[in-house]
Structure 1
């Protein structure tokens, strides 16, 4: 699964338990309006319902339910990217500008650790790995 999707799904569900959940909801609905506008209203209603589930899970200390809800939204976001791969930049923008700022610092770090960022200029190279990496160059 795309790392941006993993981070965005987690951040979306985590943001549902914050005061900024409405902006998180609006960001997610905007993604659907671009790819599947006919589903946007249904998605918006589902996000409201999922927020209630997240709040209930948090109140009961049920981290497994919250994780399962995040997984569900990760799958849905992945389906959007499959339908329109050019949407990846927009998912990244919503993650960076809407979802992540809605989170507490500890949650921001947890979500940020799901996505590795690198920039190279000129003829530079960037190698990143979450674990093992082998590079063969001539």
Structure 2
């Protein structure tokens, strides 16, 4: 898997993890991510378990209306943790992919949806975004007229 694919896997894995909190899929998610982060080391498993329990508690304590906001707030930290895990041990990518796919199948349908909002508000600003894929931007061809205005 290339670097872009590994980064995407880390992002989608984290998204599925935070979406699983406070659902029927949580126990499967928790045990799978404890194994993934622990890599057979009991101490690392214990640390991962505490972090995962804190994630679940935070989502569960939020009202139903606030849960998505809480999940979005928690998502970047888990994306970073998974990116670090994959960087430290690329062999975990296959296990993460299997776990992500299993959890996707277990999540209730509305929680399999993600929304991305991108806004460019400055004059001449450009905003681009992509979810679960690639974005390639090429510079505008040089015209000799200076920077665009």
For the superposition of Structure 1 and Structure 2, which TM-score range results when normalised by the shorter chain? 0.7 to 0.9
Name the structure 2 match of 1:122: none
Q: Secondary structure at the match of 2:48?
A: helix
Structure 2 residue runs of 5 or longer lacking an equivalent are 1-5, 116-129, 139-149
Q: TM-score, normalised by structure 1?
A: 0.72
Between structure 1 and structure 2, the one with the greater Rg is 2
Give the distance between the partners of 1:102 and 1:54, measured in 2 at CA: 18
Give the distance between the partners of 1:14 and 1:58, measured in 2 at CA: 15
May I ask how many residue pairs the two structures share in their alignment? 119
Give the distance between the partners of 1:59 and 1:69, measured in 2 at CA: 16
User: Cα RMSD (Å) of the superposition?
Assistant: 2.5
Greater share of residues in helix? 1
Higher RCO (CA 8 Å, separation ≥ 6 residues): 1
Structure 1 residue runs of 5 or longer lacking an equivalent are 117-129
Residues 60-75 of structure 1: pairs in structure 2 closer than 5 A: 61=66, 63-75=68-80
Residues 101-116 of structure 1: pairs in structure 2 closer than 5 A: 101-110=105-114, 114-116=131-133
- List structure 1 runs of 4+ shifted beyond 6 angstroms: none
